[in-house]
Amino acid sequence: MSEVAKIEYNGQVYELPVVTGSENEKGIDIAKLRGSSGGLITLDRGFKNTGSCESAITFLNGEEGILRYRGYSIEELADKADFLEVAYLLIFGELPTQEQLSKFDADIKAEAHVDEDVKRILDGFPKSAHPMGVLSALTSALIAFNPSSVNANSEEEMYQAIVKIMAKFPVLTAWAHRKRMGLPLDYGDDNLGYVQNFLKMMFKKPNAEYQENKIITNAIDKLLILHADHEQNCSTSTVRIVGSSHAGLFASLSAGISALWGPLHGGANQAVIEMLEAIKADGGDTKKYMGKAKDKEDPFRLMGFGHRVYKNFDPRAKIIKVAADEVLGDLGVEDPVLGIAKGLEQEALSDAYFVDRKLYPNVDFYSGIIYRALGIPTEMFTPMFALGRLPGWIAQWREMRLKGEPIGRPRQIYTGANARDFKDIANR
Ligand code: SDX
């Protein structure tokens, strides 16, 4: 017997089915509300209480701070898997066998070249261009060089588009970095693993052999896993809604990159370091900045704190905080902003304003400290987030397309002028 919810309005009672998920989450299915009530719709600014889909990819429990990819805990995956394995899991639903993983890796390597003409597009950007804008543009430009990726309707066509972008996105990310640093572009090496190869493309000096630092490779691999998916966040919802028009995978990803760029979303990792640097420059007075964060008249927010879903510790932040201590210790890096970050966290966790609003550190609070210790420039922090989130965006786009979801088109409540007649300009 399926559950129903009842909405009473204007003397009428409308019964709506309740959907129950595999983790016993409940959703009122309002598909028939407008039609059965003569026009009643729901309104939910920022979709804080509204589900856009049923998905089998990632499960979050914000109250308990739980994050699972396809049923596996983020803690286990970060500890035991590697990024390409997690990408396969997210996209295809199961942890790969060695044979499946080797084929995925080989299919990606076979697509790792980026058309030389894309370099000419990159050349057109000023060095000062933010790499997120470059990445969004180049991802969209890839469509012109891979036209078959646009109308990917069958699973096989989707697979071909997926391995293409999994191969070319790390190249574009590294190229965006090298362009800003005035370095010649690097094409990578098929003998290296996915993350090793990305780091080689990022950091290989033009006049020296690339020397891998395993500590850095392992730390980046773990960070990419932690960023790989997060159900219906702003950028993933963007990828889904653009993809719902059948605009193609690369166009959908390009839109998702732009959404992630915002400082309230993925851009927060860059904003956190800029905030910590400002506090350091201001004498490390964390209490002053805590006061600013609580002052409604002050636009300042404690970047890296708070989350739409997590009303407990973001499990990723807990893992990254431990990794920050380990990586900086292993590399012998002293970074004073780590101490400032820990001080802010301690103060916030005992401050009524933050406790009452259940504001805890999120994934962005400590990640920038590790990226910086690994030699990644601040403006490349959000591109790193995008590289991590790539398989999640792909998985969500593929699920949406394979399920044949309808084109996304929300309704609205109109609050503008009522009907009125046109006035000639002489009479206005
Ligand atoms: C990511 O959705 C995802 O899953 C995203 C993400 C992913 O993996 O995809 O997890 C990645 O985007 C993490 C979030 C990164 N952003 C930041 O760190 C920016 C700082 N955080 C805030 O801007 C805010 O917390 C949001 C945007 C993250 C969440 O905003 P909500 O859910 O809309 O909450 P809200 O703005 O309504 O805040 C509720 C209250 C308000 O105070 P009151 O009006 O109740 O008095 O909390 C306050 C807010 O002013 N508040 C903060 C705050 N965050 C919320 N006050 C000070 N500093 C903050 N950081």
- DSSP string for residues in 238-282: HHHHHHTTT--HHHHHHHHHHHHHSTTTTTHHHHHHHHHHHHHHT
User: Would residue 364 show up in a list of annotated catalytic residues for this protein?
Assistant: yes
What is the Cα–Cα distance from 300 to 303, expressed in whole angstroms? 9
CA 303–ligand 1 middle distance (angstroms): 8
Nearest CA to ligand 1 atom 43: 357
4 phi and psi, to 5 degrees?
Answer: -130, 155
What is the Cα–Cα distance from 194 to 170, expressed in whole angstroms? 9
pTM for the model: 0.96
What is the Cα–Cα distance from 1 to 3, expressed in whole angstroms? 7
Nearest Cα neighbor of 390 from 139, 103, 118 is: 139
End-to-end distance of the chain based on CA atoms, in angstroms? Answer: 62
Show the CA angle centred on residue 170, arms to residues 168 and 176, nearest 5°: 100
User: Do residues 163 and 412 touch, judged by C-beta distance below 8 A?
Assistant: no
CA 308–ligand 1 middle distance (angstroms): 6
* Active-site option among 307, 325, 356, 424: 307
User: Would residue 265 show up in a list of annotated catalytic residues for this protein?
Assistant: no
For CA atoms 247, 252, 253, 257, the dihedral sign is positive
pLDDT reported for residue 23 = 98
CA 305–ligand 1 middle distance (angstroms): 7
pLDDT reported for residue 163 = 98
CA 382–ligand 1 middle distance (angstroms): 17
pLDDT reported for residue 150 = 87
What is the Cα–Cα distance from 85 to 39, expressed in whole angstroms? 47
CA 266–ligand 1 middle distance (angstroms): 12
Residues with CB under 6 A from ligand 1: 46, 230, 233, 264-266, 268, 293, 301-309, 357, 359, 362-364
CA dihedral 93, 94, 96, 97 (to 10 degrees): -150
User: Do residues 28 and 16 touch, judged by C-beta distance below 8 A?
Assistant: yes
Q: In what order do the strands lie in the sheet with 12-20?
A: 4-9, 12-20, 26-28
What is the Cα–Cα distance from 84 to 130, expressed in whole angstroms? 27
Ligand 1 atom with minimal separation from the 301 CA: 58
User: Do residues 338 and 307 touch, judged by C-beta distance below 8 A?
Assistant: no
Contacts 24+ apart (CB under 8 A), 17-26: 19/54, 21/54, 22/56, 23/59, 23/61
pLDDT reported for residue 357 = 95
Nearest Cα neighbor of 76 from 260, 255, 319 is: 319
User: Do residues 267 and 273 touch, judged by C-beta distance below 8 A?
Assistant: no
Q: 3-class SS at 416?
A: coil
* Active-site option among 82, 186, 314, 364: 364
Pocket test for ligand 1, best of 292, 294, 316, 362 (most atoms within 8 A of CB): 362
Q: List the structure tokens of 280.
A: 């350091």
pLDDT reported for residue 2 = 86
| Radius of gyration of the chain from its Cα atoms, rounded to whole angstroms | 23
Residue 97 burial class via C-beta count within 10 angstroms: exposed 0-12, middle 13-18, buried 19 and up = exposed
What is the Cα–Cα distance from 374 to 333, expressed in whole angstroms? 9
pLDDT < 70 positions in the chain: 1
